[in-house]
Structure 1
């Protein structure tokens, strides 16, 4: 090997010119292969699932997370918990991405999908111990997932949406909000979520544009003060304190050009050497200000909304010319205002014409308690489909959690608009699928029947976790629910977490979107299949390096 030559990087050549790879820190690393690798992955995935398990259901507990800079987050939203967790293990990172996929696609059920994946992992471990090959386990899980989805479709019920009767949708939103911090004003929040979705929904195309729903929060007040504004709320006030606080029949000029004189676009500097030149410069600036304001006034605008700022002189001139103005309005807000009022965003004063103005019935300033905080509300717009949910709360943490909760409720209502089919919650759908899978397993002659039964056992972990979190014996509650489902042939029997005296989720109005439940089973199964197929991993020798 004396003739071996190394090139920059990690490839070397031996004396015969054959390349080989030099791996960094070879002595400190160990290699996990085969069943050992898979069991290591299962252990990591289960530990993540066990953390989330206690947050499942209406009686689930919250998690408190502190970021590196001391920010406190309290939530029981699965996707948020995992996003804020400091996770280094590669398989644990996959579980984080799993909940994120559920959040992006469906918006609800982010905790349930991770708990189900963890339960499937647990079942896979016992099957591996029996000597069943991981590929056979993965294939069995895949078959069981497909069968479960077929069964869900067979027990799903139609849920026609009637814009004149929103009560069923409100009950669905209340199911989603049952486990959230906002359940002290449970119905009010559900109504706000439903009204917001119905305001922007296109029932013909079965589509909901979430870009038109804005969530805005302000610390102070109570959660009960949260309201739905049929328009836009902007966290700004009028640029001058003497401008009127309420305007009616407003024509808005939406500007992305600043109220300031044009600057020479060159690298040359301008030297002012005499008082006369300075006065001329000031007069020129004033003329330009007046010209800009007159252009806006002549176009017929009664309110100017500007993305950029303007100095005191321009502000005073706007007051003199009786043209109320708002400055430093951000890009997303500018776009939403343009959509809501039917106006056009104007990049130059010269392009402003009466046709490009937006219209709003009322623009008013909101003030809060004894603070100097003020916000603008733009209501009765030309396009009434843009809405804002304005959230109040005792502190920032509560407002942020209320935003997350309302997002979940909005998503669950949207899912029913896009697919009008439901199954019943409280673990009822999972129990029904578990019974169906266990029964069908007996008709399979191949080795996959073991994976089928294991899949059924994993599905039962969801109702068991719901019962455990509610302080009920999980085994007893599950056995009772299964017995009732079989004897009464009623797939709506679940776990009575709220102690309402009946396990029939149809009576309790615990409703979930079929789309959400189907996606949970599919995503969890795909994730488990992928992990079971990883049988070789190179990792640091010291477990503390994970």
Structure 2
């Protein structure tokens, strides 16, 4: 196979093909080879004992990672088909948070088999002629359906808040984190992820999301020094001293966001400048007095992009009055930041002075103009300013935060990605509380059922060439097990994969048998605690089949100007 790829690349170079104007088999072969090359890069990243990639850019920056999505984002690709593989990985990451490497590797295995089928050689024997792409597609789709049915039959459902459910969710979380660069922190990170998700969804388990879980990374210390808070922490600072005093109105900290300038544009007419300055000072004073009467403790402003001499939309006069009123002022935000924090903290934004001045003192509806927190505190850790917005004792939505600690930026980035993947897995489990065995048990069982189907229908109405394609699909699934064993450093990886396959074929109730690559033991994956989510495994198979069928349908690359 490798000789075939090398020879084909050589032919392209010798004949001077332009990759943007290929047709027929040349287009199909070019697309397949481009995608297979991506799979070859990603193959060593599969499994809990995967290798790592060292990525450098033109600025000399270095990243060491085994995260498939991160690797693919970093690679500069020119071939349009290879970019489809990157989009596949990103789509998998967006939907499931995990399985980005698996889906790309399986796709490359299927495409490698497809190239053999197109050439007329597959499964150890010669085919009289190459198989048409549409027949390969039909065979793959049939095999995919059998695989998905097989995986569903292996799944086990559970009740989320039961002891069994908590145990299964923790095991799935550990399985996900085992394949990460920072897998040595697995026990504590899985607990962090589970606790964060419980906090985030304590009020409404039906409206689950990972977007509102806040992750703050701080260099220094170890992962064990990380802390979880049941409220939102903002990476930001103040331009005034922080006044840790609650409002006298409701014994809370009240915060307001202002999306307008406290200053007025001065005219160039020097005869009016003294009058304008006095008017501006009077206007600022009246606004701050009103804020004080409303019990406002903290004010957030937006940057004044029209002011060329300052990045802030606040004058020294305003700062002076804010300090006299003991009102803390946050460093001005960009508009996007203001909108983001307004959404996350549910803080209203007042858009003009008239709206602010229309607020009446001691009105019951005033809380619609500002947000109250039980406590707001300020701390600095390793030169990083943090503002704690504690609303944990009030009824309402909880936005938990984890302060991640790590020795280097690289470790923190990997830990943050690992936490994200674990949270996505937990989210998917709550949406669909079903798990399946890991350790390639699903792939081997599905391969067995596909081959059984092919034997049973060898003389039926199903086209023999489609059956050959289905057998190629089954072989690709088995290669997942072989690759997992090889990446774990097993000298006899082919024999071990064959041993698992024989157990599935010859033994009853063996559908959950796989290999625990941490212990290098074959056994029941439910007993070993090596589990995956049903939704993730189904997505891997279906998305890999979809991208492969899409690539096989392409018979011409048309350049656009």
- Give the shorter-chain TM-score range: 0.7 to 0.9
Cα gap change, 1:332/1:359 in structure 2, threshold over 3 Å: closer, same or farther? Answer: farther
Query: Counterpart of 1:346?
Result: 350
Note the residue ranges of structure 2 that are not aligned, 5 or more in a row: 1-14, 121-126, 304-311, 360-365
1:192 is matched with 192
- Structure 1 counterpart SS, 2:39: helix
Q: Does 1:315 align with 2:314?
A: no
TM-superposed deviation, 1:142? 0.6
Q: Against the structure 1 CA distance between its residues 374 and 240, is the aligned structure 2 distance closer, same or farther, given a 3 Å change threshold?
A: same
| CA distance in 2: counterparts of 1:115 and 1:180, whole angstroms | 17
For structure 1, the residue ranges without an aligned partner over 5 or more in a row are 1-25, 540-546
Deviation at 1:421, TM superposition (A): 1.1
Using a 3 Å threshold, how does the CA distance of structure 1 residues 39 and 246 change in structure 2: closer, same or farther?
farther
Q: Structure 1: how far apart are the matches of 2:167 and 2:28?
A: 48
User: Could you tell me which residue of structure 1 aligns to residue 11 of structure 2?
Assistant: none
How far apart are the structure 1 equivalents of 2:401 and 2:533?
A: 25
**2:6 alignment counterpart:** none
Aligned mate of 1:61, from 25, 29, 51: 51
Q: Is the 8 Å Cα contact of residues 52 and 65 (structure 2) preserved in structure 1?
A: yes
The answer for the alignment partner of 2:256 in structure 1 is: 254
Which residue is equivalent to 1:378? 389
Report the CA distance shift for 1:45/1:339 in structure 2 as closer, same or farther (over 3 A): closer
Q: C-alpha deviations, 1:214-249, integer Å up to 9, x for none?
A: 3232333322232322222212123224x3357695
* SS class of match (1:442): helix
TM-score, structure 2 normalization? 0.83
Match of 2:223 in 1: 223
User: Could you say which residue in structure 2 is the equivalent of 1:12?
Assistant: none
| Paired residues of 1:213 and 1:386 also in contact (CA < 8 A) | yes
- Contact in 2 for aligned 1:362/1:379 (Cα 8 Å): yes
Give the one of 73, 83, 99 matched to 2:89.
99
1:233 alignment partner in structure 2: 233
- Give 1:29 deviation, angstroms: 4.6
What is the Cα deviation at residue 147 of structure 1?
A: 1.2
For 1:37 and 1:62, the matched residues in 2 are separated by 32
**Equivalent residues, number:** 504
Q: Deviations over 1:379-400 (max 9, x none)?
A: 2254342222332222322222
**Matched-pair contact (CA < 8 Å) for 1:217–1:399:** yes
In the other structure, the counterpart of 2:403 is 390
* 1:526 counterpart SS class: helix
- Aligned residue in 1 for 2:495: 476
Aligned pair in 2 of structure 1 residues 148, 216: CA closer, same or farther (>3 Å)? Answer: same
Quote the RMSD (CA, aligned, Å): 2.7
Tell me the distance in 1 between the aligned counterparts of 2:556 and 2:71. 29
Q: Following superposition of structure 1 onto structure 2, how do residues 53-132 of structure 1 map, counting pairs within 5 Å?
A: 53-128=43-118, 129=120, 130=127, 131-132=130-131
Match of 2:332 in 1: 328
Residue 350 and residue 171 in structure 1: after superposition, are their counterparts in 2 closer, same or farther (change >3 A)?
Answer: farther
Shift of 1:122: 1.5
Cα offset, 1:500, TM superposition: 5.9
Structure 1 length-normalised TM: 0.85
SS in 1 for 2:265: coil
1:115-138 deviations in Å (ceiling 9; x for gaps): 000111121122222322221111
Look up the match of 1:511: 531
- The answer for the alignment partner of 1:295 in structure 2 is 290
